[in-house]
C-alpha cells in the first residue's frame, strides 16, 4: 500500500509542476475533496470541479513549482512538505507548506493544503 501511495502523490506533484490540467485531474478520484486551510485558498469537491478551476489557478500562480522536501507515507496516507514558488501579478513568491493526502487505489481522494496565507499577503504587497 505504501508504495502505491508514494507513487500517487509524487505523480500528482509532478503533474502540478508540468501545469497540465488534464494530467493533474487524472491523478484524483471522481469524488476528490480538495481542502485548503489558508484563507487565501478555496476548498471544493469533485474531480470535474477541480479540473474546471485548474487553468485559472495555474494562470494566476504563474510558473508554479513545488519542490518536494520529503514524502512521509503511512499506508494510504501521505504528508508531503514542500517549497512552492510562483509569480503573482509579477511578484515572486516563495512559501513553505505541506500537503496531506489520502489515496485509494492509484488516485488521490483527499488533499489538505497547509500554507501561511499571511506570508503570501506579505510577499505580494512589497
Strands, E assignment, 8-104: 28-36, 44-45, 62-68, 72-74, 77-88, 91-104
The CATH number of domain 2-124, selected from 3.30.565.10, 3.90.1170.50, 3.30.310.40, 3.10.450.50: 3.10.450.50
CA distance 111 to 94: 21
- Assess contact for 44 and 53: CB atoms under 8 A: yes
Written as tens digits, the pLDDT of the chain (126 aa) is: 799 999 999 999 999 999 999 999 999 999 999 998 877 678 899 999 999 999 999 999 999 999 999 999 999 999 999 999 999 999 999 999 999 999 999 999 999 999 988 899 999 987
Q: What phi and psi, each to the nearest 5 degrees, are found at residue 121?
A: -60, -40
- Assess contact for 28 and 50: CB atoms under 8 A: yes
CA distance 20 to 33: 19
Q: What is the pTM of this model?
A: 0.93
pLDDT of residue 39: 72
**Helix, strand, coil percent content, the chain, rounded in steps of 5:** 35, 45, 20
Amino acid at each position: 500500500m505504501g508504495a502505491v501511495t508514494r507513487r500517487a502523490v509524487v505523480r500528482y506533484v509532478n503533474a502540478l509542476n508540468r501545469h497540465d490540467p488534464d494530467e493533474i485531474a487524472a491523478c484524483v478520484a471522481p469524488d476528490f475533496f480538495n481542502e485548503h486551510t489558508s484563507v487565501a485558498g478555496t476548498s471544493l469537491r469533485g474531480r470535474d470541479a477541480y479540473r474546471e478551476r485548474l487553468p485559472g489557478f495555474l494562470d494566476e500562480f504563474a510558473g508554479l513549482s513545488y519542490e518536494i522536501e520529503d514524502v512521509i507515507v503511512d499506508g494510504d496516507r501521505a504528508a508531503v512538505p514542500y517549497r512552492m514558488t510562483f509569480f503573482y501579478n509579477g511578484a515572486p513568491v516563495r512559501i513553505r507548506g505541506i500537503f496531506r493526502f489520502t489515496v485509494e487505489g492509484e488516485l488521490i481522494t483527499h488533499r489538505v493544503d497547509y500554507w501561511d496565507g499571511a506570508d503570501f499577503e506579505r510577499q505580494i504587497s512589497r
